[in-house]
Structure 1
Amino acid sequence: MTTARSLWGRIPLRWWRRASVLIQDAALAAALFFLAFIPTLSVIGAQIGDLPERRAGLVATALVLAQTAPLTLRRTRPAVCLGLIAAAFAAHQALGYATTFASLGLYAALYSAGAHLPRHRRTLPAAACVGYILLAVVLHRLGSPQTAVDYLAFSFALCGFWLLGHGVRVHRAREAEQRRLTAEAAIAAERARIARELHDVVTHHVTAMVIQSDAAQFLIPSAPEQAGQALSGISDAGRTALTELRSLLGVLEATGNHGPARTVTDRAPALGQLTDLVEQARRSGQPVRFTEQGPPATPPPDVRLVAYRVVQEALTNAMKHAPGHPTSITVHRQPERLVLTITTEGTGTSPTLSARLPGAGGGRGLIGLKERVRALHGDLQTATRPAGGFEVRATLPVQGRQD
């Protein structure tokens, strides 16, 4: 029984929320009109002039209707609404009819003009001020006992409703602007993230393909079997790159749909896929030693993705700037963090690589990784080794990002 009553109570509320603004405002106008004929509410209303009361009749009823019916347009045509109601209110006061609840329509019209007027927000208040001054002059000539102070005090009340609506409009505009800026920032952040993903995917796989193709050119005459392996590695690298690029394109397509947006972390690689990177580097002629320490664990997708990209970028740099030198990868799983250490040996450090290290003014890949690690409240350190070569060390909290 309680559920049924609750359901019947929700149905009118849903219908009211879905109704057009004309229907909602028409209901307000109708309610104000009928309430104007309740005697106990006659003491509530807007009144200025205090002229001798005239007996109500057909004209008074028409003026009551004229002070309420235009509220139907209070949000769609606020200037027209205010003009009609203000004219009806002035005529009602000048003719000396008794105050009715319908006179509150003037306050509602002033509020609506301040809140919903799309343009002429300076012209309409100026015209309203001129109209009010003319009304005060007419009432004074008709014998109103009100003084200039009384008219001034009533004008403050009228201005108060206008300013209230104006304040609501400004607040709504600020909220809309804040939502727009937030949406733009989110789009920009996602674009930057996708750009970093594209950089990582293209740079790593294309580098591997170029190195293996160069090696295959020299191996074809003397070692056809090894050349075949190099060509096979090129094919595998191309397929992997296409798979990752299709995934990124799927993210872009989903972002443009009306459904829930996907992010680049939705298909984050597992840490187990690091072995694929290692095998690819080995097929490219880079000696790589891979070691895992600690109990098996499954960090959040954003942590797995950044960990994968750190190893990928380090291997790319090793293949480009220290080809043929041993590279060691250590993944150390701890209860609260994941530590990745990638060390490439060598007899010296490439000047190009030194310029790419974070803090040296270059290196889009490593600097981009440093930003991504910081976003997870982690730490990324890159440095050249005294004995030659370089090292990349990343520390990632297993709980991922904490905003």
Structure 2
Amino acid sequence: MNPFAVVGTLLGVAGVVEAVLRPDGQLAVALLVAVFATVPLVFARTHPGAVAAVLTPMAVLSVVLHGALTAGLVGAVVVWALLGRRRWSRVRRAAAARTAAAREVEDALVELTARGERARIARELHDVVAHHISMISVQAETARLTTAGLPEEGARRLREIGDTARTALTEMRRLLGVLRADAEPDTATRRTPQPGLQQLLELLDEMRHAGGASTRLIVRGPVTALDPGVELTAYRLVQEALTNCRRHAPGAAVDVTLDYGDDAVRIAVRDSGPGPAGDTGGHGLVGMRERVDMVGGTLRTGAAPVTGFLVEAVLPV
């Protein structure tokens, strides 16, 4: 049931009764004003603007004629209140739409960043995987040519292994061409071996020279040889964390910790700055998470105990 129809009817009845009972003798005018000041409220839900335009002058006229608060004035107040809810509802809907649009843009930007980072990771890992496949081809060919008295079947199998490895390299180059959406990387970059943990000292030296901050490398546990992909992930993780330190906490002291365990290496980069300010879900952290997920590790970022910011990853060995 339409509540405005009920209210309009009740106020209309009240207005008519009031007009009949008034002693001023202006029954026709009072009835006309009472009807037009209340009954239009029935249509308030579908036509609030038009109803307000009719009720308001009628309500004022009823006050002027009778010198008292009438049912028509109550109806006008109800309609104007209805218009102010509707207006607030429109404001809320517009704000919600803007918030949703901003969230969609941010989500799309994060997804594009993640895709770009995945493509970059794939390009870097291409060198690592290509090296191993090349070694398979070289070792198979060497074994075929240097093994004395090798049966023909064994030589054929080794030749097939070498051919398969070379085919795999060709397909990897094609895959890399698909991932390289914008342009070929610089030739010098392609010739440079992918970095690993052996280059951490150079990275920390660059940090000291660039920011003048105190940067320490702390190594715990027996150093274990890691897979090249894991070493590359660890290096890039520390590199991105140091870049964030330099950007968000310039001049702060930074500790880089490598803690070698039996089945994992824990990497922690902590600065002594003021800690995170506002949103800490930046695009650099998106890249870190992509790299750590790729090797089956875990990543935690956020405020460090007492002060500063902490990036902590556990990579399986």
TM-score when normalising by structure 2: 0.41
TM-score when normalising by structure 1: 0.33
